[in-house]
Amino acid sequence: MNRYTVVRSHKPSYSFQIDKRNIGIVLLLSILLAAVAIISIGLGSIRIPVSEVLRSLVGVADSTHQMIVINLRMPRIVVSLLVGAALAVSGAILQALIRNPLASPDLTGTTTGATAAAVAFIAFSDGKFSIQWLPLVALAGGFFASTLTYLAAWKRGVSPYRFALIGVSVSTAMSALTVFFMVAGPLYLASQALGWLSGTVYGTSWDHVLAVFPWIAGFLLIAVVQARNLNAQELGEDVARGVGVPVERKRLLLVAVSVALAGSAVGIAGGIGFVGLMAPHMARKLVGSSYGTLLPVSALLGALLVLLADLGARTLFVPLDIPAGVFTAAVGAPFFMYLLYKSRQG
């Protein structure tokens, strides 16, 4: 019996390969994620037992609990999941395209560019900004910064190391611009922007979920459909061309998807760093590097990371609500150094 199952369709044309052994892993991760999400809903300044959480979800709990679960905690959980999945898939795509294990939306200027644009938007819209537009603005900023990095790194092709060095510089410039916009705007908005900068899902409502859901879900779908092109891209330009992939066109599309995912995640949750770096690496350890399963597993792991980070941020320093991005960076930066160290060993 064949180890792989291929899901294929000719119109619209897509296909991806699923390793049967990995279906179990995907199921297991989904169950784990659901369990953590439900436990996480129950934890907080008011503790709600798991059974009560489940009853609230189907709408038969008492009205206070129902209100807390549905209106306060659920949106935050859902946004964490969406943001984590988007960042992880964005990172996975970049790592395939640049063929560089260190690639992540934080390093290409995408995250910082999106942040700068969002802060500018908050600062100059005079406090009357609408949350609906924020993902779109952040997206545009992310696109601008990553285009800048890509163009500046282009010199008869993009070398991974040049890309990384220039990405770090562009990120620095974007952070400087962020400070500039914060200084330029009114003071009370600056403090609002500051909390958001370090990456938090605090105070999200269903409005936030609705604002960001179509973007992230849509681009995730495109990413999965494009998985076979990612497989080909990772083999190198010549092989990709050899198996009939229009390399440059597909690469542009994939970069756009990656930037759009990271941009919209930043638009809603601010700069939650290093998830796009860590999740794909963990996923690769679990299921290998065929993108048909790698993308969904990355998405699940990314969602889990952000969920756990936010859970820690919410509950470790009660009554304070620490931005989740602080935790992802505290775990992610040492991980990054480890990768850096390892990549030169082999």
Q: Which residues bind other proteins (CB under 8 A)?
A: 102, 106-107, 152, 155, 159, 161-162, 164-166, 168-173, 175-177, 179-180, 183-184, 198, 273-274, 317, 320, 322-323, 325-326, 329-330, 332-334, 336-337, 340-345
Q: How far is the CB of 318 from other proteins (least distance, A)?
A: 11
Instruction: Pick between residue 37 and residue 166 the one whose CB is nearest to other proteins.
Output: 166
Q: How far apart (Å, rounded) are the C-alpha atoms in residues 164 and 329?
A: 18
Taking residue 191's Cβ as centre, other Cβ atoms within 10 Å add up to 10
Q: How far apart (Å, rounded) are the C-alpha atoms in residues 299 and 294?
A: 8
Q: How far is the CB of 338 from other proteins (least distance, A)?
A: 10
From the list 206, 200, 264, 210, the residue with the least C-alpha distance to 73 is: 206
From the list 237, 265, 218, 296, the residue with the least C-alpha distance to 18 is: 296
Taking each helix axis as running N to C, give the angle between helix 275-287 and helix 291-315, from 0 to 180 degrees, rounded to the nearest 10: 130
Q: How far apart (Å, rounded) are the C-alpha atoms in residues 294 and 287?
A: 7
Q: How far is the CB of 217 from other proteins (least distance, A)?
A: 29
Q: How far is the CB of 299 from other proteins (least distance, A)?
A: 23
Instruction: Pick between residue 24 and residue 319 the one whose CB is nearest to other proteins.
Output: 319
Q: How far is the CB of 190 from other proteins (least distance, A)?
A: 11
Burial of 25 (0-12, 13-18, 19+ CB in 10 A): middle
Instruction: Pick between residue 50 and residue 333 the one whose CB is nearest to other proteins.
Output: 333
Q: Name the residue type at position 48.
A: I
Instruction: Pick between residue 32 and residue 337 the one whose CB is nearest to other proteins.
Output: 337
Instruction: Pick between residue 171 and residue 293 the one whose CB is nearest to other proteins.
Output: 171
Instruction: Pick between residue 56 and residue 178 the one whose CB is nearest to other proteins.
Output: 178
Q: How far is the CB of 124 from other proteins (least distance, A)?
A: 12
Strands (DSSP E) along the chain, which ranges? 4-10, 13-19
